[in-house]
């Protein structure tokens, strides 16, 4: 028989969550006291064979953990011929660092599987991080059991590459989607984010000297440049993961944005660059509003869509989308829960990794 003491130790067992993406690796510890998380760039399409080595370095300063919970989207990287190959090779790399019995893989049916089980059934392990976040986030909704009603909400996660918009209730993740293509068609996945999106793919034209000017179809600038210029991101002088290889600073962003219209930073005024940046933001806000309308409109108990749960590091886009109050009034939204306030900026940015660690910890004591 398990003693009370041993049960308590099991309940407190720490877990490490890994969210393995195609462009970033995110790690988070499930202990609120530890508050440990890490987000680092990782170009899966170029460096897939370096995943194990990168993970080993990344956990050097992690607090103690007894298990590893994995979720992924990196299997879509074009270095893998198929997504099945991607899942298998990612898990092969993970288990070079962590013993396979300590690793569990989150799947889009809400269950965990061993690495070998996930590799044999790759489509339910692939692109699962959004479901992990939504599944954990529903615990933040109010408990309406006394009124015999189910509270509904929507999770919005805005990252560097994508935006997820996911319906939830206190009892389940409210979607029929299982794959990325499902979510794209249902407007639950917007394939644009606040850092990596190529502006020539996002926009057909931008304002220049008071008139629309078509943009050049080259990767001269990304959304990160717009938000560096507009002041939403701080300069990162040692970060050269940019379109031209120059530092991620506001001044260099000026030159990258100017190239979109065949100019350079010395030929355009600040007001011209401002107009380009605002056009980028306006487009992404419009896409987000459209997605929210679609997702919120599909939730059956519309008067009970009371809460919006917000994570990632692009919250400024969501604030703009909600600024006029129209969405809140139309769907009955009355409260916003910002994970950056509840967990801190670091864990909010790594929210799927934190969520999958929490879910694994819950399962281990069930």
Tens of pLDDT, residue by residue over 260-312, are 999 999 999 999 999 999 999 999 999 999 999 999 988 755 556 889 999 99
Q: Is the pLDDT confidence value at 313 over 90?
A: yes
Q: What is the pLDDT of residue 35?
A: 84
Of the pLDDT bands very low, low, confident and very high (cuts 50, 70, 90), residue 146 is: low
State how far the Cα of 79 lies from the Cα of 121, in Å rounded to an integer. Answer: 20
Q: How far is CA 12 from CA 84, 171, 365, in A?
A: 34, 24, 9
Work out the percent of the chain whose per-residue pLDDT is above 90: 85
Average pLDDT of the chain to the nearest whole number: 92
Weakest mean pLDDT among 8-22, 29-43, 219-233? 8-22
All domains of the chain, ordered by start, with CATH?
Answer: 4-127+345-365 (3.30.420.40), 143-333 (3.30.420.190)
Residue 314 DSSP label: -
Beta bridge pairs of residue 27: 18, 38
DSSP 86-152: HHHHHHHHHHHHS-GGGEEEE-TTS-EE-HHHHHHSHHHHTT-HHHHHHHHHGGGS---GGGT---E
Of the pLDDT bands very low, low, confident and very high (cuts 50, 70, 90), residue 143 is: confident
User: Are 255 and 237 contacting, i.e. CB atoms less than 8 angstroms apart?
Assistant: no
Q: What is the pLDDT of residue 304?
A: 66
Q: Is the pLDDT confidence value at 349 over 90?
A: yes
C-beta neighbour count of 68 within 10 angstroms: 26
Q: Is the pLDDT confidence value at 172 over 50?
A: yes
Q: Is the pLDDT confidence value at 98 over 90?
A: yes
Q: What is the pLDDT of residue 262?
A: 97
Of the pLDDT bands very low, low, confident and very high (cuts 50, 70, 90), residue 193 is: very high
Of the pLDDT bands very low, low, confident and very high (cuts 50, 70, 90), residue 248 is: very high
Q: What are phi and psi of 87, to 5 degrees?
A: -60, -45
Q: Is the pLDDT confidence value at 7 over 70?
A: no
User: What ranges in the chain are assigned the alpha helix state H?
Assistant: 4-11, 44-47, 51-58, 83-97, 115-120, 122-125, 129-137, 180-185, 199-202, 223-230, 250-259, 270-298, 315-322, 326-331, 339-343, 345-349, 351-365
């Amino acid at each position: 028989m398990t003693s009370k003491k041993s049960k308590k130790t099991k309940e407190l067992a720490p877990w490490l969550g890994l969210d393995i993406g195609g462009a970033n690796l995110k790690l988070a510890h499930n202990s609120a006291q530890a508050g440990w998380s890490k987000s680092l760039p990782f170009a899966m399409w170029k460096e897939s064979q370096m995943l194990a080595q990168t993970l080993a370095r990344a956990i050097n300063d992690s607090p103690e953990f007894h298990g590893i919970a994995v979720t992924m989207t990196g299997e879509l990287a074009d270095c893998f011929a198929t997504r099945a190959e991607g899942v298998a090779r990612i898990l092969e790399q993970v288990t070079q660092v962590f013993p396979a019995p300590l690793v569990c893989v989150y799947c889009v049916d809400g269950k965990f599987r061993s690495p070998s089980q996930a590799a044999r059934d790759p489509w339910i392990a692939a692109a699962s991080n959004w479901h992990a976040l939504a599944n954990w986030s529903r615990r933040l909704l109010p408990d309406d059991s006394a009124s015999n009603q189910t509270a509904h909400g929507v999770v919005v996660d805005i990252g560097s590459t994508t935006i997820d918009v996911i319906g939830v209730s206190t009892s389940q993740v409210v979607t029929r989607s299982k794959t990325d293509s499902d979510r794209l068609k249902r407007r639950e996945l917007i394939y644009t984010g606040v850092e990596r999106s190529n502006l020539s793919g996002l926009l057909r034209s931008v304002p220049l000297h008071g008139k629309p000017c078509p943009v050049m179809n080259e990767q001269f600038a990304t959304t990160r440049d717009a938000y560096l210029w507009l002041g939403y991101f701080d300069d990162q002088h040692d970060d050269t993961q940019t379109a031209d290889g120059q530092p991620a600073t506001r001044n260099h962003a000026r030159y990258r944005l100017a190239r979109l219209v065949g100019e350079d930073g010395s030929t355009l005024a600040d007001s011209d660059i401002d107009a380009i940046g605002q056009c980028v933001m306006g487009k992404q806000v419009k896409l987000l509003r459209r997605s929210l309308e679609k997702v919120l409109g599909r939730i059956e108990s519309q008067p009970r869509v009371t809460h919006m749960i917000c994570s990632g590091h692009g919250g400024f886009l969501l604030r703009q989308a909600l600024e006029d109050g129209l969405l809140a009034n139309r769907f009955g939204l009355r409260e916003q829960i910002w994970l950056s306030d509840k967990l801190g900026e670091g864990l909010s940015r790594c929210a799927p990794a934190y969520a999958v660690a929490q879910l694994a910890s819950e399962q281990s004591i069930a």
